[in-house]
Amino acid sequence: MKSATSINEADEFASRVLKVNHAGENGAVNIYAAQIILARITAPKIVGELSEFKSHEERHRAVFWAELQRRNRPRCRSYWLCGIGGFILGLVTGAFGRGAITATTVAVERVVLRHLEQQLNLLDGCDETAVRAIESIVAEERQHYDRSASDIDGGNFWSRVLSPIVSASTEAVIWIGMRV
């Protein structure tokens, strides 16, 4: 039997994870929103795919927000930082076209998928509601990664340049979110 302390700690951890995931989804929505603006000029053939991905991210954000509301929890303090940072990243990468856009999606989703898998492992048996919320988005996040990765040539300039920067930035935002 779990003690009240361990139950409270598990609930606090799950709520923190959900807050950070919600903020991250806000960042993702804004990356795609900004990329769509510029892709209309730089990569018009992928605007439809970006719009589809953005709609998935909006749903993911709503899933996490609904769970936070159910728990009577506020959004993460990094919510607006993620949104603004995501929009700036989307503008910059959108300006450089298809290669930069797809490299960004691959880098972000690689980090996100790893974190989601870790969260599912840590929350399994502790908070099934949080697990279900996270599980509800994993397939679409994987689809974003797979579709974008299939569009990148292994030697893609943008992938080599952006992957370490975007991956490190995504890790940093998650790290900050878990601590503020």
**Are residues 69 and 139 in contact, defined by beta-carbon separation less than 8 angstroms?**
no
DSSP letter at 150 equals T
Q: Report angle CA 5, 113, 166 to the nearest 5 degrees.
A: 110
What is the structure's pLDDT at 117? Answer: 96
Which CATH fold topology does 4-177 show? Ferritin (1.20.1260)
Q: For the segment 155-177, what is each residue's pLDDT rounded down to a tens digit? A: 578 888 999 999 999 999 999 99
Q: What is the pTM of this model?
A: 0.92
90-144 tens-digit pLDDT: 999 999 999 999 999 999 999 999 999 999 999 999 999 999 999 999 999 999 9
- CA–CA separation, 35 vs 4, rounded Å? 46
Residue with tokens 């969260």: 119
Structure tokens at 44: 């018009």
| Burial readout 37-62 (b: 16 or more C-beta within 10 A, e: otherwise) | bbbeebbeebbebbeebbebbbebbe
Total residues found in the chain within this entry: 180
What confidence score (pLDDT) does residue 1 get? 44
Residue 132 near residue 18 (C-beta atoms within 8 A): no
Q: Where are the chain's structural domains? A: 4-177
